[in-house]
Amino acid sequence: MQILFDANRIRKMKKGSILLNVGRGTSVDTEALCDTIESEPLSGGGLDVVNPKQLLSNHRL
């Protein structure tokens, strides 16, 4: 499956946006999303699914 929201596309989102993913976990580059939220262009993200399916308890999400 192709990543639809990679680092480049996420950075192009309007400042303060929130990315919501209720599709497939592979649609969003989880690490790129975390990077963008931490650098504050995005206000947050809502993820019903992630890739990998189970995150470690110390994952930054």
pLDDT in tens, 11-44: 999 999 999 999 888 899 999 999 999 998 899 9
Give the count of beta carbons closer than 10 Å to the beta carbon of residue 23: 13
pLDDT score of 53: 81
Inter-residue contact 26 to 32 (CB < 8 Å): no
pLDDT score of 52: 78
Greatest pairwise CA separation for the chain in angstroms: 30
Give the residue from 44, 54, 55 showing the smallest Cα distance to 21: 44
> Is residue 3 predicted with pLDDT exceeding 80?
yes
Mean pLDDT of 40-59: 87
> Is residue 1 predicted with pLDDT exceeding 70?
no
Give the pLDDT band (50/70/90) at residue 6.
Answer: very high
Token output for 29: 């580059």
Inter-residue contact 28 to 19 (CB < 8 Å): yes
